[in-house]
Amino acid sequence: MNCREVIHEISNYLDGDLDASMKQSIEVHLKDCNECAVIVSQTRFTVEIFCDSHLVELPTDVRSRVHEALRRRIQESRK
């Protein structure tokens, strides 16, 4: 197992969708690779934050400004 393979399987790992052998291979790699361990930890933390968050309704004027800015950027990128 290398870093690229761990990153490729990170979603499946965090979701618990791996067979026991693949899960064990990732966990062995994570014990020896601090960089991947940090990436997995931060990804897990980010997912937890978003899963626990609530939808925030933007005020109408803010929503309108955001939509207009996005329209301008899309038009500019097409030029």
CATH number at residue 43: 1.10.10
Domain encompassing residue 9: 3-78
pTM greater than 0.75 (yes/no):
no
Number of domains observed in the structure of the chain: 1
DSSP secondary structure of the chain = --HHHHHHTHHHHHHT-S-HHHHHHHHHHHHH-HHHHHHHHHHHHHHHHHHH----PPPHHHHHHHHHHHHHHHHHHH-
Instruction: Tell whether the model's pLDDT for residue 58 goes beyond 90.
Output: no
pLDDT tens readout for residues 4-47: 999 999 999 999 999 999 999 999 999 999 999 999 999 999 99
- Which whole number is the average pLDDT over 35-63? 91
